[in-house]
Amino acid sequence: MSFHNLTPAWVDQPLTTPGFAADVVDLMVSLGDRQRGTFAVLLCDPDDYYRATVTIDLPTEFEHLSPGLDTAGLCSSALSPIVTAVRTAPGTGMILALGRPGPGGVCELDDQWSRAATAICQAADIRLLGFYIATSEGVHQPAITHRQAA
């Protein structure tokens, strides 16, 4: 997936197609964001059209992909102000993207973030349109995301 695949009119298309959404994530999560460790929230209107991106820097210890990180707590802390704001606009959908350093292959951390984000959005009754991982090697969805969508 690459933002190079996007047409100039990409904002006029809903972000419900996984390949298309991944290209938009690639555009919105810079290589610097990925190296630093960020959590990006792509906000969509009730018809799933892109409206804005909020990028949240993660703590510096995140860059080491430490297995001791409290993933659920870190995810909840990052999403808390977003959830509060989104709940004031009924029908808003979100695409979440974890920008992280390291290899592009799926790691346990990816699945932990995907599970935590999905649980938080379900509990807040927010439409989660997709969860993606962005590394310097590209953008992908964790396998757990595919199983949760089924």
Q: What is the pLDDT of residue 19?
A: 79
Is the pLDDT at 92 greater than 90? The verdict is yes
- Of the CA atoms within 13 Å of residue 137, those in its CB half-sphere come to 8
Q: Report the DSSP pairing between strands 38-44 and 50-57.
A: antiparallel
Is it the case that residue 35 has pLDDT exceeding 70?
yes
Structure token pair of residue 68: 């001791």
pLDDT band at 149 (very low <50, low <70, confident <90, very high): very low
Q: Whole-prediction pTM value?
A: 0.86
Exposure on the CB side of residue 19, measured as CA atoms within 13 A:
4
Distance CA 80, CA 137 (A): 29
Instruction: Give the CA distances from residue 11 to residues 6, 68, 122, in Å, rounded to whole numbers and listed in that order.
Output: 9, 39, 26
